[in-house]
Structure 1
Amino acid sequence: MKLLQMTDIHLTAPDQTIGGRDPWQNFNAALDHALANHPDAEAIFITGDLSDWGETDDYRRLAERIEALPLPVHLCIGNHDDRETFLGTFPEAADENGHVQKVVPLSLGHAVLLDTWGPESHAGHFCRDRARWLADRLAELPGPVWLFLHHNPVPTGIGPMDEIMLLDADRLADAIARHKGKIAHIFHGHCHIPLSGHFRGIPFSAPRGTNHAGWPNFGAERLLAASDLPQSYGVILVAPEGTMVHMIEFGYQGEIREEGSPHYADWDRATMVR
């Protein structure tokens, strides 16, 4: 099974830029690159910050764009989104409590999309209703389960970023505690930097994002840091024996060189490029 993860697309009005980059241009470039190189993907998951300012026009244009794609696209919301405005365009994304949460059947298990949005906050929130919904779904579903959400549940070690992580990470942990064996991986966004690790024993990862890039400034005390690193999306390869996650830097403009054969017998000074 192959899945694609895009995150932090930050769509704006046409021709508006963020950090000198056009979010719509880069989102389209990400889609074009992904569809050209991974036509066998089963679905695309976009893990939040769909709109930069939570505006109706951004969601309407997004709906039109993904409707034309040859594979399904599933959406989480992030801190830059507005839940009510988003649901005005995507009403089918709401669970019974009005949160943007759903279960997606896959060829190998199920994806579960979580809502970590909170009003007037860049931090992540996960209330009792959301936690109860997740625990109920996990009790019903066989494994494996793949969780998708926006906010990072584990501190990054970067002060300003950790102020806006998932503040209710303990509640998330309690909701999944009885079903940890079913959860194969957690995918998030939010930080604009590639991350990996584990949350209460469950592996997680995040790619950089399709537009502007962050930078891990561990000495930062007040402000987040940005950089000009390439735009990216994730490719998730799932087999019964394990999961591999790649970050594809589609925004890289440099040369791709052939280095040489992977076979040991061919490793000599005449054939290996150095």
Structure 2
Amino acid sequence: MKLVQMTDIHLTAPGKTISGREPTENFKKALVHALDNHSDADALVITGDLSDWGDLEDYQRLRDILSSVPMPVRLCIGNHDERETFLSVFPDLAGENGFVQSAFDLPLGVGITLDTWGPGSHAGHFCEKRLSWLDEKLSATDGKIWIFMHHNPVPIGIAPMDKIMLQDAEAFAAVIARHADKIAHIFHGHCHLPLSGSLHGVPFSAPRGTNHAGWPDFKAERSLSSSDLPEAYAVILANETSTMVHMVEYGYAGDIRNEGSPDYADWDRLTMIR
């Protein structure tokens, strides 16, 4: 199974920039790169912050851009989104109790998208209704389960970022713990950093976003830190026994060099390019 995860696309009006980069153009570039190199992917999942300000026009623009993507597309919403505005453009994605949550078939099990949005907050929220829905879905599902969400469910050790992580983390973790034997991986975004770890033995990961990049400033107390690192998305390769997650820095503008053959017999001090 191959999946593409994009996150934190932060669409804005054409010509508007964030950190000197134009989010809509960068998202289009990410799609071109992914379709050129991973057209065999079984699905594209975008894990939130679809719009920068939750504007109607951004969701209309996203709908139009995605209309030409040949693979199935799944969407999560993040703290920069507005749920009602989003659902006015994507009404089919309204799940139980009006949350943007769904379960869908994958070649290797079942994917689940979660809604961690809360009004007037950059932090993540996962109320009793959402917890109950997730618990029921996990209980009713056999085989591997792949969870996609926006907010990080575990502190990353950077104070400003941890203030806006999933606030209902303990309750969420308790549900994960009950079903850890069947959850293959949790994918999230929000932090604009490449991250990996585990929660009750369940691995999780996040790539950098498709526009502006974060920076892991462990001394920061109040402000989030940014950088000029390349834009990126993730490619997930999975089979029955393993999962590999690549962060593809499609925004890298430097050279890609051929360093020679990986075969040991071809390694020679005189001819090996270094």
Matched, 1:209 2:209: yes
SS of 1:147's equivalent in the other structure is: strand
The structural deviation recorded for 1:227 is 0.3
Matched, 1:28 2:12: no
Question: Residue 39 of structure 2 aligns with which residue?
Answer: 39
Matched, 1:148 2:148: yes
Matched, 1:101 2:101: yes
What is the aligned-residue RMSD (CA, Å)?
Answer: 0.8
The structural deviation recorded for 1:177 is 2.5
Cα distance between partner residues in 2 of 1:251 and 1:233: 10
Task: Confirm or deny: 8 A CA contact 2:232 2:251 kept in the other structure.
Answer: yes
1:154-169 equivalences under 5 Å are 154-169=154-169
1:1-274 equivalences under 5 Å are 1-274=1-274
The structural deviation recorded for 1:273 is 1.4
SS of 2:179's equivalent in the other structure is: helix
Cα distance between partner residues in 2 of 1:155 and 1:258: 39
Residue type at the aligned position of 1:169: A
The structural deviation recorded for 1:239 is 1.1
Cα distance between partner residues in 2 of 1:9 and 1:244: 23
Residue type at the aligned position of 1:6: M
Count of residue correspondences: 274
Cα distance between partner residues in 2 of 1:52 and 1:184: 30
Residue type at the aligned position of 2:174: D
Cα distance between partner residues in 2 of 1:154 and 1:96: 26
Using structure 2 for the length normalisation, give the TM-score: 0.99
SS of 2:26's equivalent in the other structure is: helix
Cα distance between partner residues in 2 of 1:96 and 1:241: 33
SS of 2:196's equivalent in the other structure is: strand
SS of 1:104's equivalent in the other structure is: strand
Cα distance between partner residues in 1 of 2:92 and 2:174: 27
Structure 2 gap ranges (5+): none
SS of 1:97's equivalent in the other structure is: helix
Task: Confirm or deny: 8 A CA contact 2:176 2:200 kept in the other structure.
Answer: no
Cα distance between partner residues in 2 of 1:200 and 1:164: 21
Cα distance between partner residues in 2 of 1:272 and 1:174: 53
SS of 2:181's equivalent in the other structure is: helix
* Segment drifting more, 17-26 vs 59-68: 59-68
Residue type at the aligned position of 1:87: L
**Deviation per residue, 1:19-55 (Å, 9 max, x gap):** 0000011000000000000111011000000000001
Residue type at the aligned position of 1:212: H
Structure 1 gap ranges (5+): none
SS of 2:104's equivalent in the other structure is: strand
SS of 2:155's equivalent in the other structure is: coil
Cα distance between partner residues in 1 of 2:245 and 2:207: 9
Cα distance between partner residues in 1 of 2:177 and 2:214: 32
